[in-house]
Amino acid sequence: MGDSNSKIPVSSVFDPVSTPAHEINVIALFSIGITAVIFVIVGGLLTYAIVRFRRHPDDDDREPPQVYGSNPIEFAWTTVPVLIVLVLFLTTARTIYQVQAPTRPPDAISVRVIAHQWWWEFRYPDLGIVTANELHVPLSDRQSPTPTFLALESADVAHSFWVPRLAGKTDVIPNRKNEMWIDPHVAGTYLGQCAEYCGTEHGLMLLRVIVEPRADFDRWVAAQKQPPAVDASVAHGRQIFESTACVNCHTIQGTAAVGRFGPDLTHLMTRVTIGAGVAMNTRDHLRVWVDDPNVMKPGALMPAMNLGDKDLDDLVAYLATLH
Ligand code: CUA
């Protein structure tokens, strides 16, 4: 299962492709730069003093000259740190303002992000789309900026939404709506994860953001709006799905399943991974998952379905038609 991320570069906060992440990177490098200069000066003076004034065999035991009440020295070592703190405060305040108070263009994409133990629900209220764990957003270039604004909610405990190359962490808190935005200007897949301990599978609450040119995004939207094709050859699998506990937690458009506790499965097979990034979405993995999710993700809240081999095969065959 470790192959799932092999083709995607490691997510680094020092490699931003979106304005909020870029602003944060600039302020981080600026702060690191100032503190590095302080470190070199203080460390250098300390090393010099240790070496230059170390004990010699021919020292007498008298105290060196003591310096008290020098106004210029005390003024300098009060003023300089105050100025440094002031500069750091002002630049940080400016960055916070830039990240938190953007102007919202009328054609911005809106997404409701709902964090669950241990997966992400994405709802596009203006587009009528619901998906999970893999967020699709359009490329936002300088000519036609189309940022995506995320409204973050939690269905249970506190989580934190973090895609290092796109934006800083934003807490996702029950009974509260936090907001953030991204405007990625390089197409690609960006990995993210929950950044606030939220229970057993916090570490496997992964997410992907798929940034694609507007035409590809519009094609994805159109496909997600379609009901899944009805395939008579998997009717038995569909019947198993509709007659077991699956329907209590999952939604599949056009069926009796309208549960909201687990991910919407209407277009399950358009997603690259299952179990919030725990494995690639192949038929074999899907079979292992449905048989007993705890094998892949110990502590997962989805119960083992305890189906016989034949029923399990038929159910997975049905799920595999959900494009
Ligand atoms: Cu959700 Cu940690």
The pLDDT tens digits of the residues spanning 113-140 come to 999 999 999 999 999 999 999 999 999 9
Q: pLDDT by residue (tens digit) across 292-306? A: 999 999 999 998 888
Distance 201 CA to ligand 1 centre (A): 7
**Domain coverage including residue 236:** 232-319
CA dihedral 310, 316, 317, 322 (to 10 degrees): 160
Q: Is the pLDDT of residue 4 over 50?
A: no
In a domain, 61, yes or no: no
Claim to verify: residue 204 and residue 282 sit in the same structural domain: no
Residues 243 and 315 in one domain: yes
Q: Is residue 22 pLDDT above 60, yes or no?
A: yes
**Domain identity same for 160 and 38:** yes
- At 217, the amino acid letter reads F
Atom of ligand 1 nearest to the CA of 195: 2
Q: Is 220 domain-assigned?
A: no
Identify the band that residue 3 occupies on the pLDDT scale cut at 50, 70 and 90.
Answer: very low
pLDDT at residue 7, as a whole number: 62
CA of 217 to the centre of ligand 1 (A): 28
Dist. CA 199 → ligand 1 center (Å): 7
In a domain, 222, yes or no: no
- What pLDDT shows up at residue 64? 81
Name the residue at shortest CA distance from atom 1 of ligand 1: 159
Q: Is there a domain that residue 49 lies in?
A: yes
> What pLDDT was estimated at residue 8?
65
Give the atom of ligand 1 at the shortest distance from the alpha carbon of 202: 2
Claim to verify: residue 42 and residue 137 sit in the same structural domain = yes
Ligand 1 atom at shortest distance from the alpha carbon of 198:
2
161 CA to middle of ligand 1, Å? 8
Same domain? For 156 and 300 the reply is no
Q: Which atom of ligand 1 is nearest to the CA of 158?
A: 1
Q: What is the pLDDT of residues 147-158, one digit of tens each?
A: 999 999 999 999
What is the predicted pLDDT for the residue at 9? 64
Encode pLDDT of 184-227 as tens digits. 999 999 999 999 999 999 999 999 999 999 999 999 999 999 88
In a domain, 223, yes or no: no
Q: Residue 119: CB partners within 8 Å, gap ≥ 6?
A: 132, 133, 205, 262, 263, 275, 276
Band of pLDDT at residue 93, cut at 50, 70 and 90 = very high
Q: Which atom of ligand 1 is nearest to the CA of 159?
A: 1
Nearest atom, ligand 1, residue 205 CA: 1
189 Cα to the center of ligand 1, angstroms: 21
For the residues 253-263, what does the mean pLDDT come to? 89
Atom of ligand 1 nearest to the CA of 115: 1
Mean pLDDT, rounded, for 43-70: 88
Is pLDDT of 5 > 70?
Answer: no
Ligand 1 centroid vs 298 CA: distance in angstroms?
15
Give me the pLDDT at residue 2, please.
42
pLDDT at residue 106 tops 90 = no
Mean pLDDT, residues 252-272 taken together: 90
Average pLDDT over residues 53-59: 86
Percent of the chain at pLDDT above 90? 72
pLDDT at 56 over 90: no
Q: Domains in the chain: how many in total?
A: 2
Task: Calculate the average pLDDT of the chain.
Answer: 91
Please give the pLDDT value at position 1.
42
Residue 39, C-beta contacts closer than 8 angstroms, at least 6 positions apart: none
Identify whether residues 291 and 166 lie together within a single domain: no
CA 166–ligand 1 middle distance (angstroms): 18
pLDDT of residue 276: 93
User: What percent of the chain clears pLDDT 70, i.e. is strictly above it?
Assistant: 97
How many angstroms separate the alpha carbon of residue 160 from the centre of ligand 1? Answer: 6
- Whether residues 186 and 252 fall in one domain: no
Lowest mean pLDDT among 176-185, 231-240, 277-286: 231-240
pTM reported for the whole predicted model: 0.88
Ligand 1 site residues (CB inside 6 A) read 115, 118, 159, 194, 196-198, 202, 205
Residue 74 maps to a domain: no
CATH code of the domain covering residue 265: 2.60.40.420
Q: Do 184 and 18 form a contact (C-beta atoms < 8 A)?
A: yes
